[in-house]
Structure 1
Amino acid sequence: MNPTAFRTIELSDPALTPAGVHFITVKSAALRRRADITVYLPPGTKPETESLPLVTLLHGVYGSHWAWLFKGAAHHVLDRLIREENLPPIMLAMPSDGLWGDGSGYLRHATADYTRWIIDEVPAAAAEIDSRCVHSPRFIAGLSMGGYGALRLGALHPEQFAGISAHSSISDAAQMQGFIEETTAQFDLADDHPSHVLDCMKLNAHRLPPVRFDCGSDDILIEHNRTLHRELDLAGIPHTYEEFPGAHTWDYWHTHLADSLRFFARCLAK
């Protein structure tokens, strides 16, 4: 998708935002309304660098495009890894999920395609900030509902991503009922693909990019993550699963975002 496909696009003034932070509002054809994205491009990224990998970070229920930055300090994590561990420059695109109910699930609804928004339109909008991301490797990650979105969309569109990572993930849309007010029927889905991450990964098992996910040992979703890990093992689908101390909190996600970014850097180095 070309950035000119947006009927309207509004970009924040770099002089008025934190260094490297950009806010974008576009008229989304997929959602049939305006939608927001926060982009972070580390200051000092050399313009002569040909490749600028793009990491799409998906937020969880109740959140929006600013959550990874202003609750998870994603930009500070990336800056630290670049400074201390020589991580290559990476652009972060942090979109809203579309703001349906308590959370859209990044699924295709009858009234709005929250999947196409993430897969096609978010990268096109990020290219308005720096076009080098257009032909560079892309990665996807997320937390909770966003972890579900990352695992599921990455599995369904393996050709789009060089790596997939998730934290504290929901593994099936039905598990959102423990978090949201809306019922399953209210989702009014028009998605032809399975809702369970395992089934989506089985569809493209032979061509998945590298996959990792983790969960805190005190997280309310720990058993769902353990089950997904076991089922992927039984299906013979390569992946990395890790457990760390912690719960379903921003402290945990802030800490372990670094694991995702290191994982993506290793993917780039292969």
Structure 2
Amino acid sequence: MAWITCDFYSETLELSTGIEVFLPQAKLMTSGSSSRLPVLYLLHGRGADQTEWMRRSSIERYAENKGIALVMPGVGRSYYMDMANGPSYFTFLSEELPQLVQSFFPVSRRREDTFVAGISMGGYGAFKLVLTYPERYAAGASLSGGLDLASRAAGRGFQEAEIRTLFGSVDRLEGSRDDLLYLASEFAAYQGEKPMLYQCCGTEDFLYKDNQTFRQCADSLGIHITYEEEPGGHEWGYWDRKIQRVLDWLPLP
């Protein structure tokens, strides 16, 4: 695969940012110039950046025969949201970034070719995208995601200064568009074709309870999720194994 580091200025964020991109060379060489690649947006965890997937996993090796482009954005510690006192990262991720990626690289604009997955904070971001915009994604995957954000914030999962920066107040989270449990109810009522959902978490992970809460909420709403759990913690040995499962699960042509 070709590895491309792409730096650019974001009008939404009003700052310079960057993405890491893998493109499958064999696919490009054998397909006509009009061919557009399916694309998987890979979201990093809290405290990391856009290089995390490349440094901590073997994602390039796993994806090289899948004929898929990988796009890895960096969002700092924003929790993939429009921050109360900071840049609008969710708007950047959902609106500006796909348009830029489609203009820079030969990736498909079709819903059925567009996927998102993430670990930890990125698992929250991936599910937030597909639950908010089911018409834009064919599949979304959360690996050990922080899926019950309101409870995590109320239970001292964040420092006070970080709460003010991200949310403004913990009280505004529950029932808001940053609350995946609320978004799940809207998703359940959506009448169009729903994206496929994949969720996994290790049973020793500190976010295991959050994942059970979200799973139970989805079950109560009749939302189908491919759910897997096994022994494992909040660490890259587990995620490196599970991303291979995600790549096999994606509805690729």
Displacement of 1:245 in angstroms is 2.3
Q: CA deviation at 1:41?
A: 0.7
Give the CA deviation at 1:116.
1.6
| Partner in structure 2 of residue 92 of structure 1 | 70
What is the 5 A alignment of 1:186-205? 186-188=165-167, 193-205=176-188
Aligned to 1:68: 53
The answer on whether the counterparts of 2:69 and 2:107 sit within 8 Å (CA) in structure 1 is no
Deviations 1:116-135 (A, max 9, x none): 21112222333355224334
Pairing 1:105-144 to 2, within 5 Å after superposition? 105-110=79-84, 111-135=86-110, 137-144=113-120
Partner of 2:148: 172
Verify: 1:185 aligned to 2:164, yes or no.
yes
TM-aligned CA distance change 1:66 to 1:180, over 3 Å: farther
The 1:182/1:22 distance shift into structure 2, 3 A limit, reads farther
The partner residue of 1:256 within 235, 242, 248 is: 242
Please list every run of 5 or more consecutive structure 2 residues that lacks an aligned counterpart in the other structure.
Answer: none
Partner of 1:26: 8
C-alpha separation in 2, matches of 1:145 and 1:96: 12
The answer (yes or no) to whether the contact 1:150–1:165 under 8 Å persists in 2 is yes
- Say how many residue pairs are matched: 238
Look up the SS of the partner of 1:133 in the other structure: coil
State how far apart, in whole Å, the 2-side matches of 1:43 and 1:268 are. 17
Within 1, Cα distance between the matches of 2:103 and 2:6?
9
Alpha-carbon distance in structure 2 between the residues aligned to 1:159 and 1:223: 29
User: How far did residue 179 of structure 1 move?
Assistant: 5.9
2:151 aligned with 1:157, yes or no? no
Root-mean-square deviation (CA, aligned residues, Å) is 2.3
CA contact (8 A) 1:36 1:95 kept: yes
| 2:25 counterpart SS class | coil
Identity of aligned residues (%): 28
Q: Distance in 2 between matches of 1:129 and 1:245?
A: 41
Give a deviation string over 1:161-197, Cα, whole Å, max 9, x none. Answer: 0111110010133426526674322225699942221
Contact 2:148 2:213 in 1 (8 A): no
DSSP-derived class of the 1:165 partner: strand
Q: 1:230 — aligned with what?
A: 216
Q: 2:62 maps to what in 1? A: 77
2:252 is paired with a residue whose SS is: helix
Residues 197-246 of structure 1: CA deviation (Å, up to 9, x unaligned): 12112112234311111001111111111121111111111111110221
What is the TM-score with the length of structure 1 in the denominator?
A: 0.80
Q: Is the 8 A contact 2:38 2:68 kept in 1?
A: yes
- Letter paired with 1:30: T
- Can you list the C-alpha shifts for 1:134-164, whole angstroms capped at 9, x where unaligned? 3461101100000000011110011110111
Q: Return the alpha-carbon distance in structure 2 between the equivalents of residues 242 and 229 of structure 1.
A: 11
Cα distance in 2 between the residues matched to 1:201 and 1:70: 32
